[in-house]
A and B are shown apart, each in its own frame.
Chain A
């Protein structure tokens, strides 16, 4: 499989010469990632949600990433031997190389990581066929594979922050994670994530990964402050790119003060109550591991989330109807009042 990966790298290197190489450097959880885009087609899709992490840094990167699409470069991805019809999603994992590909609902693409060489490749047939999830959370699994090597864990959690510390929000879709993160954008709080957060458990630090958020189309009217950042939408959700318009509302790294398990109660006001670490682990681990089930050691990730739940104070966040009271409560909790 190493030969195949080398073919991918060679094709990607050739692709970036067709329309002009566009290189961006990102600081992801404290590590430098140099991304070489073949022209502007994929750059326009993949870069905006990561733009808040872009840095001017010429040091040797910790990861080198090549991205190309066939439509704008005329270069196809090397053929897969023995590929049968009917497999919409596939994965390969041998400890050194991890690959993941999909061809589903008119979306197609694949990504590969070589852990030993710290090189990665992303390919799509065209920018228009990049999955709708990648418009808000590009390269999700690639980050998960690569950062887990460095004991940084991608966790299915929203994160809001004050000036010094942050609170993570964990739970299944619809529990109020994203709602709370988006409310933070209209308060004195900072936004770090609405869906996926990066966590360094021993250092008790959380990092922002994406500055894009997604809102159900029907709910969009409830977040008018997002309107200037509207980017795109699919049949279900609108995508907003918070950077650069709301850059002052974004935080990149904080120490973790607490973990909340939110729940929308319909009560008039919100309140914060202690819960057990077990309740937090039950809210975060299955969601995270079932979603990111490729290319990571799930038992190791489970133990990291367990260690986090044990070392950080855990609370239920009962979300009431009064949004102003909710943000005031969280602002006070994070010491910003």
Chain B
């Protein structure tokens, strides 16, 4: 079973009023997620989760069949992994269930809204990390990209 966790090395994130705002600091692209997606991210903040475990948790909040929730979450999680927001691995889902309150909310397919207006800022001014090992040196992935070119 694929289990997803937040890519904390590259992603800065916050959930505010049910909306998750996610910034990929490596690419400069940022995202928003609300509704089912915002709640799914909130659950992932407590630990890794799978489409099935998140669907089970969100079924208490949204008026939707479990299998539809799981299908839509599987799609969303794969999309977020492709955007570098999540890491995927094998293991056990640990995300804590979300607390249900009152009536279930109407279900809408979760949408990852993507903003690319800041992307150029990072592309124009790439910053090279240096360490005790020496002064500006390229990361292995940057070197390999240059070699490809």
A interface residue numbers (CB < 8 A to B):
1, 80-84, 87-92, 94, 99, 104, 172, 276-278, 281-282, 285-287, 289-291, 293-294, 298-299, 302-303, 306, 309-310
Contact = CB atoms under 8 A, between A and B. Distances in A.
A294 B132 CA distance: 17
B32 A81 contact: no
A90 B139 CA distance: 12
B12 A90 contact: no
Contacts of A299: 8, 12-13
Contacts, number: 104
Nearest to A300: B12
Contact of B122 (A81, A94, A281, A290): A290
Contact of B136 (A90, A276, A281): A90
Contact of B25 (A80, A83, A277, A289): A289
Contacts of A104: 125
Contacts of A94: 132
Interface of B: 8, 12-14, 16-17, 19, 21, 23, 25, 28, 30, 32, 34, 115, 117-118, 121-122, 125-138
B26 to A, nearest CB: 10
A82 B135 contact: yes
Nearest to A79: B135
A256 B126 CA distance: 34
A113 to B, nearest CB: 15
Given A90-B128, A282-B32, A286-B23, A309 B16 contact: yes
A84 B16 contact: no
B12 A302 contact: yes
Nearest to A276: B17
Contacts of A276: 17, 19
A302 B121 contact: no
A278 B135 CA distance: 40
Contact of A290 (B16, B118, B130): B118
Given A277-B17, A285-B23, A298 B130 contact: no
